[in-house]
Amino acid sequence: MPVRNQAGAKKMRNIIISDFDETITRYDTIGIIAKLPYLINPELKPEWSHFTKTYMDGFRKYKYNGTRSLPLLSSNASLTSSHSNFDCVFKDELEFQKYNRTIELNSVNEISKQQLFKSITLEQMKQFAKEQNRENCLLRGGFNQFCSSVIKNFQDDFYILSINWSREFICEIIGNKEVNPDHVLCNDLKVSTEKRPPTYTGEFDCGLLTGSDKIKSLNEILGMTETHNNGNETRCYWYIGDSETDLLSVLHPSINGVLLMDPVENPSKFLRITEQIIGVPSDKITRFQTDNALGWLKFCEKENGMFAYLVKSWDSLKDLIAQTSNSTC
């Protein structure tokens, strides 16, 4: 029988969907993963600088000539996130994110062409992730406590949406053996199982490269989980991210969206995303920046009681979810 409170409300179940790099981790880890082939083969060519140059050349070669309407939120933010007009209102941003696939593909295709990760075993990647986490403490503060307090069932209620390159790396950094690998969605290095041990082919699956890809995957998660809802519980979906590729997902009308950024840690990034790109009202930005006791703040109201929030830390997010879990999501 479902657990109900005294008022007879359905049991609340939080589904957590999170970005990985600089949301769960303290740093962007793609640059860290890039070290592995050169540790295994110090004589490996070309050097990593070749691929960073390829990436930057892609920005110049494939410069976007379309319209990106910024800020994303109009003055009437509560209407822009309604389900009926989400794709229409954010049409320009969706097109911009889709176009960015060209730049990302240009980069990863060069890495595939040079076979940088070819023949590296999954076990080597896992061991590398453990060593890097031990040496550099990659997880953001409060994440483990958030997981133990909020996520009751890792197999069913926790997802990763990331443009990272390795599911194995992500799972090892998170460190919870109950994480469902099928719930870790990323721009994964392809694996060959024709021989043992399993190794990377050197190619990428290219399923998650931009914010538009994340929206597609997010909708698939929502559809899949709701299909299996027997109606005995209320499911509250949360998307947590920190960068431009996360913003469409944060603003998605069917979830509570969280922009997880401490404005003190990286003030220029915080202002660029909140002020210039999203269009969070200046009074809210100032209040969130200056009030040290303020861990989270609503900045956008959606339909059906959903919101988008500015949140400073995983500890603050834990408190926010605890408060909202006492009401119908």
pTM: 0.93
Residue 5 within a domain: no
CB-CB contact of 171 with 181 (8 Å): yes
State the pLDDT confidence band at 118, using cuts at 50, 70 and 90: very high
Least confident window among 10-19, 39-48, 132-141: 10-19
Domain membership of residue 294 (yes or no) is: yes
64 within domain boundaries: yes
Compute, in degrees rounded to 10, the torsion defined by CA atoms 254, 3, 328, 315: -80
In-domain check, residue 3? no
Q: Please indicate, yes or no, if residue 329 is contained in any of the structural domains.
A: no
The answer to whether 250 and 239 have CB atoms below 8 angstroms apart is yes
Domain with 167 in it: what CATH number?
A: 3.40.50
> CB–CB of 215/249 below 8 Å?
yes
Q: Which residue has the higher pLDDT, 80 or 307?
A: 307
Half-sphere exposure of 124 (CA within 13 A, CB side): 18
Whether the Cβ atoms of residue 213 and residue 207 lie closer than 8 Å to each other: yes
Number of structural domains the chain divides into: 1
Give me the pLDDT at residue 6, please.
Answer: 47
Q: What's the half-sphere exposure (Cβ side, CA atoms, 13 Å) at 73?
A: 26
| Segments forming the whole domain that contains residue 68 | 11-324
Q: Is residue 4 part of a domain?
A: no
Q: What is the mean pLDDT of the chain?
A: 91
